[in-house]
């Protein structure tokens, strides 16, 4: 049996907010544990609203932030191994990022093709510029761009969609085992977002690469994902197969996210409790969603729930399932058709 490509064990990250004397600690990621099997390439989406901790998670996987506690293991190797300067190149060959805004990934004063050549040479994928050109040509072709369209041009000569595809090509140069994509379609025109999402599905098998897809858009997450992890105020509140989580949501917050997706012919007529001040929710002793939850009981406000395993591949952080019985506790939603484009046209 293949080892996990990614293991996140009791991962936490705290930030100090406010002044030196009266400041408080905010736990942006709170004891999160997730694993992603490495037997075949997969896409795992981390979803949730702004402030849930998903980007902080991505930055820790990319070694852009140090965890306060816990650890991350990639393909059997602890991330701490790559923290040493001599092992950084090895890490960049293993893990690559795709950021939200492609225009900030490239300097306006530097030609785009030079980034691609330098990545190939600096990571020892090619020894000469001629060899690098062959590598660059291959990865650009895989994202639907001819190398002649890129050579000699600057970032402002490309559209946002083109530049994001070039960013994806750059990430593919070392043929990494894991790509972390943080809101990669957020800055792209709605009409072009599905092109990028479809690229992930194509490249997953073509390059045998796993993706961590960070997003707040459940429609694209459902369409592209093998697994989905839902986060709220730093907590992992639900994790499992994408179809299972989004067709049979076990956590009230996942239900709320699903209910918020616009649907043709349906008018929103429900009242939703707004969140309290974010910093106060992070400090709650019990379930951080209790103040907005229609199922909340007294225990939810005073005690942090344990992670309940509904089955081997579906777990939820909620007292609602302490006496778990599928027929009593799972609210079955109308199944979303992964092949249908009507659902996604509304929300892209």
CATH code for the domain of 333: 3.40.50.300
C-beta of residue 319 within 8 angstroms of C-beta of residue 251: no
Question: Has residue 334 got a pLDDT over 60?
Answer: no
Phi, psi at 194, each rounded to 5°:
-65, -25
- Across 60-69, 98-107, 116-125, 329-338, least confident range: 329-338
- Across 9-13, 70-74, 237-241, 294-298, least confident range: 294-298
Q: Confirm whether 143 is domain-assigned.
A: no
Q: Confirm whether 167 is domain-assigned.
A: no
Q: Confirm whether 212 is domain-assigned.
A: yes
Note down the domain range covering 289: 6-107+175-263+273-347
- Across 7-11, 101-105, 270-274, least confident range: 270-274
Q: Confirm whether 213 is domain-assigned.
A: yes
**What does the pLDDT average to over 163-184?**
95
Q: Confirm whether 141 is domain-assigned.
A: no
State how far the Cα of 337 lies from the Cα of 236, in Å rounded to an integer: 26
Q: Confirm whether 231 is domain-assigned.
A: yes
The total domain count for the chain is 1
Helices within 188-268 (DSSP H only):
193-206, 218-224, 242-247, 252-259
Identify the burial level of 22 via C-beta atoms within 10 angstroms of its C-beta, where 0-12 means exposed, 13-18 middle and 19 or more buried: exposed
**What percent of the chain is modeled with pLDDT above 90?**
57
Q: Confirm whether 258 is domain-assigned.
A: yes
pLDDT confidence of residue 262: 59
Q: What is the pTM of this model?
A: 0.86
C-beta of residue 229 within 8 angstroms of C-beta of residue 45: yes
- Across 14-23, 38-47, 85-94, 257-266, least confident range: 257-266
């Amino acid at each position: 049996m293949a080892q996990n490509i990614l293991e996140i064990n009791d991962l936490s990250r705290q930030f100090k907010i406010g002044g030196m004397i009266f400041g408080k600690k905010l736990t942006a990621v709170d004891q999160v544990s997730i694993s992603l099997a490495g037997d075949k390439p997969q896409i795992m989406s981390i979803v949730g609203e702004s402030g849930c901790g998903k980007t902080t998670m991505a930055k820790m996987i990319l070694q852009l932030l140090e965890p306060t506690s816990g650890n991350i293991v990639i393909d059997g190797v602890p991330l701490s191994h790559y923290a040493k300067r001599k092992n950084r190149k090895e890490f960049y060959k293993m893990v690559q990022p795709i950021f939200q805004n492609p225009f900030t990934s490239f300097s306006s004063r530097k030609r785009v093709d030079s980034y691609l050549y330098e990545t190939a040479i600096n990571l020892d994928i090619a020894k000469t510029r001629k060899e690098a050109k062959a590598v660059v040509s291959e990865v650009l072709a895989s994202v639907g761009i001819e190398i002649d369209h890129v050579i000699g041009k600057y970032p402002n000569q490309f559209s946002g969609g083109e530049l994001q595809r070039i960013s994806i090509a750059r990430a593919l140069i070392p043929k990494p085992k894991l790509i972390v994509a943080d809101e990669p379609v957020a800055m792209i025109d709605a009409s072009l977002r599905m092109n990028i999402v479809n690229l992930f599905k194509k490249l997953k098998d073509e390059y045998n690469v796993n993706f961590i897809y960070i997003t707040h858009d459940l429609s694209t997450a459902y369409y592209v994902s093998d697994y989905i992890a839902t986060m709220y105020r730093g907590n992992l509140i639900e994790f499992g197969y994408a179809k299972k989580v989004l067709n049979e949501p076990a956590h009230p917050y996942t239900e709320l996210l699903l209910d918020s997706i616009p649907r043709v012919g349906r008018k929103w007529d429900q009242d939703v409790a707004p969140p309290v001040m974010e910093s106060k929710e992070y400090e709650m002793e019990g379930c951080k969603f209790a103040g907005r939850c229609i199922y909340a009981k007294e225990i939810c406000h005073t005690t942090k729930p344990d992670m309940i395993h509904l089955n081997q591949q579906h777990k939820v952080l909620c007292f609602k399932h302490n006496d778990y019985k599928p027929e009593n506790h799972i609210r079955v939603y109308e199944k979303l058709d992964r092949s249908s484009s009507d659902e996604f046209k509304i929300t892209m």
